[in-house]
Structure 1
Amino acid sequence: MRRGPTFWIVLLAVAAAALGLWLEYRRQHPSQIDGVTIAVVGDMAPDATWLSTDGKPRPLKDWRGKKVLINFWATWCGPCRQEMPLLSAAAKGASDHGVMILGVAEDIAPAVRAHLLKDPVAYPIVIGASDAPGGSLSFGNTRQVLPYSVLVGADGRILRRKMGTFSEAELAEWLAP
């Protein structure tokens, strides 16, 4: 069967469109930025180790076996500070269902400690750098906005990601057993 020129033009157009879609997807979902590997939903969470507010290492694997809602925030981020009381109230009930809330401050330790003295929360806070392994970038925050949250399953896989603050209903859905 001989194929006419229309067939080849259509085939070339489809191939070009597929390549364009793939390139746009890779641009919006890069696998690496500045040497930091970017995890996506379904991937294992990065092998992150942060520092507690008193300087002790806290690896993410300490919470393996539980679902962990990781909330990246900073003291200079107004929406982050507004969201913290909601997260704090939710943390009390979530731990009864095997879900842990963890705050990762992408900030300097003295500012974090001062903020927590003034406005304590009912969930652990650790300190990390945004562009380091374990920073929000490695968890998929390619737009570098805060707050940024990630839900990690008990098996260590990333289940969900969110840019921006939670509503009460949305947070309840994320924390449901």
Structure 2
Amino acid sequence: MAGVGLSIWLNPPAPLIRTEIGQRALQDVLAATAPTPPDGLAIARRGEPIPTLELPGLDGALMPLPQAHAGRPQLINLWASWCGPCIEEMPELDRFAGKQGADGVQVVGIALDDADAVRAFLERVPVRYPILIDAAGPADAGVQLGNVKGVLPYTVLLDAQGRLLKQKIGPFRDGEIDAWVER
């Protein structure tokens, strides 16, 4: 039954999920049914700084978040190469990242996937923003960023001090990121 409800929320047209109220309601429902995270795992809460995440890029170099882009707002998107909605939103994320440049909102992708699969995917669908790698699981970056149920795609917006401002479950459509960030 919960799967049917989630499907109704995520599949078009689903106008409620495109609203802040709808997103918060969806996140509350998912959090209520999520497994208990491992003891001691720091999980981001709206309005608070996110826990430090230190993840490797495809070159193996570690990038600490949110410190790597301190002083700039950040949009962090969790995805996987096997996730259809994730793939559909990547051109929109890339467009937004290109528009923002070095002085605007910094976009970072975190692939909950195998590094080789991500490399192969990005050869076909390159993006202009950094991609980090993490293994999916009960303590992955998504869980630490408040996605305790592990639904993909999942995006968070941080302010310039690394505080969690917004969370979004589901893909962005054309032009939607700009309005979501500005609200």
TM-score for the superposition, normalised by structure 1:
0.77
1-structure distance, mates of 2:69, 2:103 = 14
Mapping 1:7-22, distance limit 5 Å: none
Aligned partner of residue 101 in structure 2, secondary structure: helix
From 33, 57, 64, give the equivalent of 1:59: 64
From 137, 141, 164, give the equivalent of 2:170: 164
1:175 offset after TM fit, Å?
A: 3.7
Aligned to 1:38: 43
2:106 aligned with 1:100: yes
Letter in 1 for 2:54: T
1:151 offset after TM fit, Å?
A: 0.5
2-structure distance, mates of 1:46, 1:152 = 12
Contact 2:73 2:159 in 1 (8 A): yes
2-structure distance, mates of 1:81, 1:70 = 15
Aligned to 2:89: 83
Runs of 5+ unmatched residues, structure 2: 1-27
1:168 offset after TM fit, Å?
A: 2.9
Going from structure 1 to structure 2, the CA distance change for 1:29 and 1:152 (only over 3 Å counts) comes to: farther
2-structure distance, mates of 1:134, 1:154 = 23
Contact 1:79 1:147 in 2 (8 A): yes
1-structure distance, mates of 2:100, 2:180 = 10
2:128 aligned with 1:122: yes
Letter in 2 for 1:153: D
Letter in 1 for 2:38: D
Aligned to 2:146: 140
1-structure distance, mates of 2:55, 2:135 = 9
TM-score for the superposition, normalised by structure 2:
0.75
Identity of aligned residues (%): 39
Q: Which moved more, 1:128-137 or 1:115-124?
A: 128-137
2:24 aligned with 1:28: no
Going from structure 1 to structure 2, the CA distance change for 1:127 and 1:89 (only over 3 Å counts) comes to: same
Q: 1:12-57 deviations in whole A, cap 9, x for unaligned?
A: xxxxxxxxxxxx99x7298x61233321111111110110101111
Cα RMSD (Å) of the superposition? 2.4
Aligned partner of residue 167 in structure 2, secondary structure: strand
How many aligned residue pairs are there?
152
Contact 2:92 2:175 in 1 (8 A): no
Please identify the structure whose Cα radius of gyration is greater. 1
